[in-house]
Structure 1
C-alpha cells in the first residue's frame, strides 16, 4: 500500500512498482468508495497505448465486477478525455484511466475520474487511498459484467457541435504513437481539413522515446509546417489530454500564447472569465481585462482549473503545459477538442497574426521554466527555508507581493514574476519566470535557481 500515492493527477510509477496486485488494490478501493457514496451505476475503464495498459485495465475491470459493478470499456486504447466525456454522457458512476500520460514506456499509472467527468479533488483521492485493500469479492450471483462500447462517436459529435466551425485547412497531425491516433486526426478530417498523419501507427514503445510533445520530439512536425505545405501542426501527448500546436512563423507555439489566442477567439463569439494556473501567463489577464472579464488564478493541477471553471461558469480554462477545456464541455483538459478549436481559430485569423495582434495590443511577454532536482523528502524543507528567506528584490527589481497559492510566486514591480513550486509528479522543483523579454526571463530564472540552491 505504501507504494500507492495519488499525486497531482493519479498514481504513476515504473512497472517494477506499478504491478497487477497493486492495481487490483486500487480497483477495490474505488469500488468501496463508490459503494460508500451510494453510486451503483456502471463504471468506465479506459487505457492508453502502452503494452501493459490493456492488461491492467482488464485487472481493474474484474475487481469492479466482483464488487457488483458493471463495466464499460472501449475496444482499443482511447484518450483520457473520451473517458471523461463518456462518464457524463452515459451517466456512469465514475471511471478509471490506465495511463502514464507523457512518461516513457517503462511507466504506467491510474487515475480515478468522478461522475462529473472532472479530475478527482484531494478529498476523493484521499478517500480512495484510505480504502486500499485486497479484492473482496461478493457472491458470484451479484457480480457485474464487462461490455465494450464506442467511446469515440458521441465525443466527436459533441466537439463538432460545440466548436461549430468547419476549418478549411491543411493540418499535419502527430500522435507520437499515442491514443490520439485515429481520433484527433479523424475529427479534424471530418471538418473537411486535409490531414497529413505522422506517427499514427500503433507502437507501444512510442518509437523508443516518450510521448511528450516537446520541441525536440516534434522536429518532423515542425518541419512539415515551417518548411512544408501544412498550414497548421497539431500533436497530442500519450493519452491526448494535452496539445501542442505548430505555426508557420513560430514553429512550436508556446502554450501560454496558445491559451491567449484560444481565449481571444472564444471572446469573439461569447463572453466569460478565464481560469488559469499560477504558472500561466498574465497575458490571459490582460485580454480578460480588455473585454471586461476576469482571470481567475488557481494552483497548478487541472483539478483546480476544473473546479474554478464550474464555480465561475468560465469560458475557458487552461494551463501552461498545454491542457485546456471550454464552456459547454466536461471540466477536464481535452487535447482532441482543443485541436479542433485551434484549427477553427486559425481558420478565422492565422494564429501567427493573432499572436502578433495580441502582443501589439497588450505588450510583449515571454515565459520559460527550468527544473531543479530535489528529492521528494526534501521538498517541504526547501520550501519552508525559502519562506523564511523571501528576498526584497529579484534580479535587481523590487518584489511587490508574494502569492503562496502554490509554492512562492514573487510579483515584481514591472509586472514580471518568478515562481518556485514543487513538481507533483517528479523529484524536482519547478522554477518559472515571465517578463517583457527573453533576456529578462533568463535573468529571473538564474535568480530562481540561486534561491533554491540557498534554501537547500
Structure 2
C-alpha cells in the first residue's frame, strides 16, 4: 500500500518536524484517515492548491507549500526573463497558518535568489493582483481558501499581468512540481539570511495607498457622494476576513459613513460567528440583519475572508431585508455603470462586458441595449482576466465590466481578479444615486426585470467528500455524457455543449460547432425557450454544482418553470 509507505516515511524521516510526526502518530489506528491523507498528492489545479490543513501529501501544510513554491520558482527561472530581480509578491488572509505558509513561500523563493515581497499583515486578494502589476513582479502568491470552511487553506498563483494563472501556465508549473521527488530537495533559507541577502522585503502602506487611489478613481459620481454620501445608511461585515480596513477606508475617503458589524470586524480564523464565511449564503448576514433592526439602513454589504466576493442585502417591497443573488447584483451594476457612462458621454463604442458561461444572460441583454457586446468565458475569474489582457494586446476592444454569478465583480483594469473593494464602492455609489432619485435598489431591480424580462436562477451544490465523493462526481458527469437528455419535461434540448470535448451539438437541426474556449469538464444544456442548466465539478471544493436559469414573462412563470426543470434534472442525477 503506497499510502501506508508514505505515512511511515513522514513519521520516520528527519526532514519532517516533531509536531508533524506527532499529528500523524495520533491517527495510527485510523486506516481510512491515513489513506485519505496519503493516497495522492494535494493537486495543484488550474489556480493552485486548496485543501484541508494538516500533515500528509493530500493536505496543505508547510511542506506541500514549500514544494509548490519550488515548482513555481523553477518555472519562473526557466520561463520569465529577469525573474530573480522582478521577484514575487505574497499576500495572505486571516485563516489558520496563512501567515506561516506565506513566509514559507517567501523563504523558498529567497533560497532560489528570487526577490520576495511579503505583505506585513493580511490583505485582500485583489490587492495582491494589483501589487503584482504595481511592483512589476514576475508572479504573485496569495494564501487563502476564499470562503471555504475554517479547516481549509489554499495557495493561488498569479502571473505577470496580475491575473490568476490560466491552465496552460498551471500545467507547466505542475510539471515542475512533479519533477521534485523528495521534499528535502526543496531549497530553503532562514528569515535572517533572506533579509541579509536583500531577498526578502516587507511591504504595506505604500501599496495600500496606491491601490486605494486607483479604486477611488473608478467612482463615477464623486461630487454626488461628497454632497449626499453621508445620507446613505450602510452596514458592512468583513466576516472576520481581510476586507475591514480597505473597504471602510475607501468608502470613508469618498464621503460615505459605514457602520461595521462589531462581532465580525476582527480577523478570526475559526469564523466563529458563522457556519460558513460565505456571502453567497443568507446565514452569513444574520448578525448584520440583527444590527439593521436597530440601525435603519439602505444597504448591507458582506465580503468573504479574502475580500474578492461581496454579498448585498436590500429592503424589498414588503419592507423586509432580502439577500440578492450574484446575478441580480451583477445586473444592477451593469445597468448602473453603462447608463452612467452613457449619460456622461464616455461609453466607448468598442466596449465589452465579460461574464462566465454559468452567469445569467440578463447582463448580456442589458449590455446589448447600450450597444455593448458581451463575451463569455469559462467559470473562474482567471478567464475574465485573460480576456482583459487579450483586449489590451490586440487594442481592438475596451473592457468595461466583468462579473460572475458567484458574487465576483470587476471594473477597471489595474486589478485582474474579482474585487470586493471596488464592487463595494460601486454598490454604495449606485445605491446613493438611486436614493437621490427616490428609488430603492430593489425598485431599480424590478425596473430592470420589467424592461428586459423576468430572470430566475438557482445553484444547487452537492457536497461529495473524499475519494468516494470524487469518484461519484466523475460518474455523474459520465452519465450525462452517455445519456444526454434530448428533452426536459415538455421542452426539447436545443443545444448540448460539452466543454471537455470542445463541441456543441444542436439536437433540433443536427448542427455541430467547435467551442473556442479552453477545455473544461463542464456540460451545458440550452432548451428551446433559452432556459438552460449546466453541470460542473467545483474547482475548489468537493462539490458538484448544477446551475439553472430561466426567463419568464412574469416572476411567477419564471419560478414555476425553474422548479420544473430543476426537479427533473435533480431526479436524473439521483438515478445516475
Match in the other structure for 1:416:
531
User: Shift of residue 56 of structure 1?
Assistant: 1.0
Task: State the secondary structure of the residue aligned to 1:206.
Answer: coil
Match in the other structure for 1:217:
284
Match of 2:542 among 422, 427, 438: 427
Task: State the secondary structure of the residue aligned to 2:526.
Answer: strand
- Range with bigger deviation, 168-177 or 327-336: 327-336
Q: 1:309 to 1:351 in 2, by over 3 A?
A: farther
Please tell me whether the aligned partners of residues 222 and 251 of structure 1 are also in contact (alpha carbons under 8 angstroms).
no
Q: 1:223 to 1:253 in 2, by over 3 A?
A: farther
Match of 2:471 among 374, 377, 381: 377
Match of 2:310 among 216, 236, 243: 243
Query: Structure 2: how far apart are the matches of 1:305 and 1:420?
Result: 20
Match of 1:275 among 354, 371, 378: 354
User: Shift of residue 170 of structure 1?
Assistant: 2.2
Task: State the secondary structure of the residue aligned to 1:77.
Answer: coil
* Structure 1 residues 256-271: aligned runs within 5 Å: 256-268=327-339, 269=341, 270-271=347-348
Alignment pair present for 1:170 and 2:170: no
Show structure 2 runs of 5+ residues with no match.
1-37, 342-346, 392-397, 435-439, 500-519, 553-557
Match in the other structure for 2:149:
104
Please tell me whether the aligned partners of residues 309 and 317 of structure 1 are also in contact (alpha carbons under 8 angstroms).
no
More contact order relative to length (CA 8 Å, sep ≥ 6)? 1
Match in the other structure for 2:455:
365
**More helix per residue: 1 or 2?**
2
Query: Structure 1: how far apart are the matches of 2:203 and 2:540?
Result: 32
Please tell me whether the aligned partners of residues 98 and 111 of structure 1 are also in contact (alpha carbons under 8 angstroms).
yes
TM-score normalised according to structure 2 size: 0.75
Deviation per CA, 1:382-425: give whole Å up to 9, x if none: 32321222222113222121233352221112221121222212
Alignment pair present for 1:159 and 2:184: no
* Structure 1 residues 141-220: aligned runs within 5 Å: 143-150=197-204, 151-166=207-222, 167=225, 168=229, 169-198=232-261, 199-207=264-272, 209-213=275-279, 214-220=281-287
Larger radius of gyration between Structure 1 and Structure 2: 2
* Structure 1 residues 311-330: aligned runs within 5 Å: 311-312=390-391, 313-330=398-415
User: Shift of residue 227 of structure 1?
Assistant: 7.1
Query: Structure 2: how far apart are the matches of 1:442 and 1:43?
Result: 48
User: Shift of residue 221 of structure 1?
Assistant: 2.0
Q: 1:371 to 1:210 in 2, by over 3 A?
A: closer
Q: 1:230 to 1:182 in 2, by over 3 A?
A: same
Task: State the secondary structure of the residue aligned to 2:333.
Answer: helix
Deviation per CA, 1:350-407: give whole Å up to 9, x if none: 4223211111100111100112345223434432321222222113222121233352
Please tell me whether the aligned partners of residues 225 and 246 of structure 1 are also in contact (alpha carbons under 8 angstroms).
no
Q: CA RMSD in A?
A: 2.2
Give the number of equivalent residue pairs.
455
Alignment pair present for 1:253 and 2:324: yes
Task: State the secondary structure of the residue aligned to 1:163.
Answer: coil
Please tell me whether the aligned partners of residues 381 and 417 of structure 2 are also in contact (alpha carbons under 8 angstroms).
yes
TM-score normalised according to structure 1 size: 0.94
